[in-house]
């Protein structure tokens, strides 16, 4: 029995090192900001005005494993909506949940007005400097 376990461990070691185990596998959008804009990507520059997480120890159901952010939109591309919105993202980074910090954030929105979502894949793919020329201030 000990020999079988040793042989199995040796066989696994010969396969080589395993890469990191990630549940979230993002494919960064290809193309320039202009190409993404032409394809309909909704990107906004916003300030986080609030954050809401499930209280206590949440049950493992998708509906209460979401973090919500309140955002004040400063400028956008392909965005025609209110200046204040609420977005949802998975609570866990392994489920592609995005974490927004203080200061202006460049955020790609998914979904539709009233049901906006953000995720890690949209955050890691945005290069702020390349988007500045495309962002239009919201009308007053």
Cβ-Cβ contacts under 8 Å for 125 (sequence gap 6 or more):
26, 28, 29, 108
The pLDDT of residue 22 is: 44
The pLDDT of residue 130 is: 82
The pLDDT of residue 55 is: 72
We find that the CATH architecture of domain 23-137 is Beta Barrel (2.40)
Three-class secondary structure assignment of 25-90: CCCCCCCCHHHHHHCCCEEEEEEEEEEECCCCCCCCCHHHCEEEEEEEEEEEECCCCCCEEEEEEE
CA dist 136 and 45 (Å) reads 9
Q: In angstroms, how far is CA 35 from the centroid of its own chain?
A: 20
Per-block mean pLDDT, blocks of 10 residues, the chain (140 long): 55 42 60 84 93 72 76 94 94 84 89 90 74 86
109 and 44 Cβ atoms separated by less than 8 Å: yes
The pLDDT of residue 125 is: 65
The pLDDT of residue 47 is: 94
Task: Read off the pTM.
Answer: 0.74
């Amino acid at each position: 029995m000990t020999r079988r376990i040793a042989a199995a461990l040796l066989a696994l070691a010969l396969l080589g090192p395993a890469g990191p185990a990630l549940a979230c596998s993002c494919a960064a959008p290809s193309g320039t900001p202009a190409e993404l804009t032409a394809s309909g990507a909704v990107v906004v520059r916003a300030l986080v005005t609030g954050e809401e997480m499930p209280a206590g120890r949440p049950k493992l159901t998708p509906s209460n494993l979401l973090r919500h952010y309140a955002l004040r939109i400063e400028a956008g591309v392909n965005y025609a909506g209110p200046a204040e919105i609420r977005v949802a993202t998975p609570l866990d980074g392994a489920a592609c949940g995005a974490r927004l910090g203080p200061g202006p954030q460049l955020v790609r929105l998914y979904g539709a007005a009233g049901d906006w979502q953000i995720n890690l894949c949209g955050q890691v793919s945005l290069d702020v400097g390349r988007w500045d020329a495309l962002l239009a201030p919201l009308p007053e």
